Amino acid sequence: MRSLAESRVLLLGAGGLGSIAGLILARSGIGQITIVDQDRVDLSNLHRQLLYSEADQGQGKAALAADRLAREAHKCGNKLDTVAREIHAVPDTIGDLIEGHDLIVEGTDNFASKFMTADAARLAGVPVVHAGAVRWVGWALGSSAHRGPCLRCVFEDIPTEHPETCAAAGVVGPVVGVLGALQARLALQLLGDQAHACRTWYSYQALGYGLRQLRAPDNPGCPLCAGHIQEMNMARYVRAACATEPVAG
């Protein structure tokens, strides 16, 4: 087990979830964070993307996040190396992006990217922490490197129907705050070899029951856990994503 100062985290998405999770991890003493995000700062997202401000509009999030997270770590006396990758993770590139990292924090905003990350993480033997949020609801799930429940165990596959996305429905700041912080907690647990953190997943209803812990199933029909997914195939994600509504950043 590496110390936190030796740990290398891949932050896929530096938006609402990634801002919060990144801030906490930077202040917790993580040694390296690579930020992958192709988007630019938009005024309409600032209520939830706490790393940025109005003056940052139009600038790339990855480089800004790298700078801000390093500064946050410094405030706590930590030394954080950051790497900014202003690219879009796709099946052909995600394996290279993951290489050299000890954990992935996935805060993308579409199912294709989430399932692609889950598959690539398991194939690379790297734990991943996922989360999703729309309006006042969300969820979070940690998945260990080699075994146990994964995203496909819980949600099976990219929906072919039309679930809501934050691009269409919006998401409120406190919801990504709660779930981003939960992602950071799960990340620290997984980096600390606390694999039991993956036995449950979390559903959050800000206007209802709050945060609920649910049993993460060992799904005998999961193609990823059964080893049926052995390579990153672009068609697997494109075909499924085309059956859903368009996704956006």
Partner 1 sequence: MAITVRIPTPLRTLTEGKDEVEASGTSVRQVIDDLEKNYPGLKDRLCDDKGGVRRFVNIYQNEEDIRFLDNLETTVKDGDAISIVPAIAGGH
Interacting residues toward partner 1 by CB under 8 A: 13, 15-18, 39, 107-111, 114, 131-139, 154-157, 159-161, 163-167, 169, 171, 175-176, 179-180, 203, 205, 207-209, 212-215, 217, 219, 247, 249
Given the complex with partner 1, which of 30 and 222 has the nearer CB atom?
222
Given the complex with partner 1, which of 29 and 174 has the nearer CB atom?
174
Residues near 143 by Cβ (< 8 Å), separated by ≥ 6? 118, 121, 122, 127, 128, 129, 130, 149, 150, 151, 198
- What phi and psi values does residue 5 have, to the nearest 5 degrees? -65, -20
Residues near 42 by Cβ (< 8 Å), separated by ≥ 6? 57
Closest CB 206 distance from partner 1, rounded Å? 8
Nearest to 236 by CA among 119, 132, 154: 119
Given the complex with partner 1, which of 77 and 220 has the nearer CB atom?
220
Given the complex with partner 1, which of 95 and 135 has the nearer CB atom?
135
Contact present, 97 and 85 (Cβ < 8 Å): yes
Nearest to 200 by CA among 124, 111, 140: 140
**Cα 224 to Cα 159: distance, rounded to the nearest angstrom:** 16
Closest CB 5 distance from partner 1, rounded Å? 28
Given the complex with partner 1, which of 45 and 82 has the nearer CB atom?
45
Given the complex with partner 1, which of 209 and 235 has the nearer CB atom?
209
Closest CB 74 distance from partner 1, rounded Å? 26
Closest CB 88 distance from partner 1, rounded Å? 12
Closest CB 15 distance from partner 1, rounded Å? 3
- Both tokens of 68, joined, read 């801000």
Closest CB 128 distance from partner 1, rounded Å? 15
**Cα 113 to Cα 133: distance, rounded to the nearest angstrom:** 14
- What phi and psi values does residue 31 have, to the nearest 5 degrees? -80, -35
